[in-house]
Amino acid sequence: MSGTQHVMVIGGGANAEHEVSLGSAAAVREALAASGRTVTGLAIRRDGEWETLSGERISLAAAIQRMRESDVVFPALHGEGTEDGTFAGLLEIVGVPYVGSGVRAGALAMDKWAAKLIATELGIATAQGVLIDGEQVCGDPAGLPFPVMVKPVASGSSYGATRVDSSAELTAAIEHARTFDDRVLIETFVVGREVDIAVLRGADGTLHISQPLEIGKDADAVFDTALKYDAEPDFVVPAPLTAEEGEAMRTAARALFVALGCDGVARVDFFIQGAEIVFNEINTMPGMTQLSQVPRMFAVDGVSFPELVAWLVEGALARRTRTS
């Protein structure tokens, strides 16, 4: 496509990842402008209202009108109420091509419990887990030895996620996770390396698998909000993996991307525990700044950040052609 494409980038969102999404949106706008496209932006405020880049409040109807006037929308939105299929649903109704996964993939991927069940069915190992929904429990909590990880079923950026070493701390951790989602997941704590990989669907439908990226941290530490955002995280890319580990991870990531029906790019996060690849979670709109994981994974293969973002936009436009 020519350089006259008009791309609308959306950031923010009424959830815990508001700031992270604003960061992604700003980086995506800059990258798209660098590749000669016409770029505009809108943001969803913390209260769910819409605003322009200059901070002027506009109505949802006006926001929809602006999206309709663009060739393609790039929702650089992370977390609940956006990345979970909600925003894709709005864009389907608006009828404009958009970057990233559709409603079903976004919803399934955001639900850590559902994603776990699908992974298990595909023969991909996951940490043993139990779902807590109010008084209701799915699974056997007695079968989970400490330490465990307690986390909201649908959140992100490590918000609400706590390592729990004894039963005395469990209730407080569950209550904390509940402030992010009514449904809470308790998992055995996996001691091991944390290695992530990305899958991207190109304009012709081909799946491209990135280099793996390892998060530099202690094997029994949590990659928490402080490690993620207070300083530049320590990423090793390509992660030093054996041929078998690399192959197992690529195969599992591809299978999950396909099973969930993802589009655009998804980051699939694993632990390596002993010789085993253990699936943790999948993100359908991963962080999108130049220093974020996915851009760094592709950068080592020579794909610059502006090229990656342009690739996603072309994929979104081609999907409309492929599916209509």
Handedness of CA 78, 80, 81, 87 (dihedral sign): positive
* Helical segments of the chain, H only: 18-34, 60-68, 86-94, 103-110, 112-121, 170-178, 225, 243-260, 293-299, 305-323
State the minimum distance, in angstroms, from the CB of residue 27 to ligand ADP.
19
Map the footprint of ligand ADP across residues 207-236, applying CB under 6 A: 222-223
- The piece of 1-9, 40-48, 158-166, 259-267 that touches ligand ADP (CB under 6 A) is 158-166
Counting contacts by CB under 6 A, is residue 113 touching ligand ADP? Answer: no
Q: Which of 5, 70, 280, 293 binds ligand ADP (CB under 6 A)?
A: 280
Q: Which of 83, 111, 187, 245 binds ligand ADP (CB under 6 A)?
A: 187
Distance CA 58, CA 50 (A): 6
Counting contacts by CB under 6 A, is residue 150 touching ligand ADP? Answer: no
17 is annotated as an active-site residue: yes
State the minimum distance, in angstroms, from the CB of residue 248 to ligand ADP.
18
- The piece of 6-14, 164-172, 187-195, 288-296 that touches ligand ADP (CB under 6 A) is 187-195
Counting contacts by CB under 6 A, is residue 295 touching ligand ADP? Answer: no
Counting contacts by CB under 6 A, is residue 155 touching ligand ADP? Answer: yes
Distances (CA, A) of 268 to 20, 120, 200, 258: 18, 15, 11, 12
Distances (CA, A) of 144 to 36, 132, 167: 54, 13, 11
Distances (CA, A) of 295 to 68, 198, 301, 303: 28, 9, 10, 8
Distance CA 94, CA 244 (A): 45
Contact string (CB under 6 A) for ligand ADP, positions 237-276, x = contact: --------------------------------x-------
- The piece of 47-55, 183-191, 204-212, 232-240 that touches ligand ADP (CB under 6 A) is 183-191
Catalytic residue, chosen from 24, 70, 155, 292, is 292
State the minimum distance, in angstroms, from the CB of residue 139 to ligand ADP.
14
Distances (CA, A) of 176 to 150, 164, 171: 9, 12, 9
Distances (CA, A) of 172 to 15, 151, 164, 166, 176: 22, 12, 10, 11, 6
- The piece of 19-27, 68-76, 101-109, 148-156 that touches ligand ADP (CB under 6 A) is 148-156
State the minimum distance, in angstroms, from the CB of residue 154 to ligand ADP.
8
Q: Which of 156, 246, 287, 315 binds ligand ADP (CB under 6 A)?
A: 156
Pairing of strands 148-152, 183-188: antiparallel
Q: Which two tokens stand for residue 265?
A: 């790019």
Known binding residue 280? Answer is no
Distance CA 118, CA 108 (A): 9
Counting contacts by CB under 6 A, is residue 82 touching ligand ADP? Answer: no
Chain residues that interact with ligand ADP, rule: CB under 6 A: 127, 149, 151, 155-159, 161, 187, 189-190, 194, 222-223, 269, 280-281
- Positions at the binding site: 269, 281, 283
Active site residues: 17, 157, 292
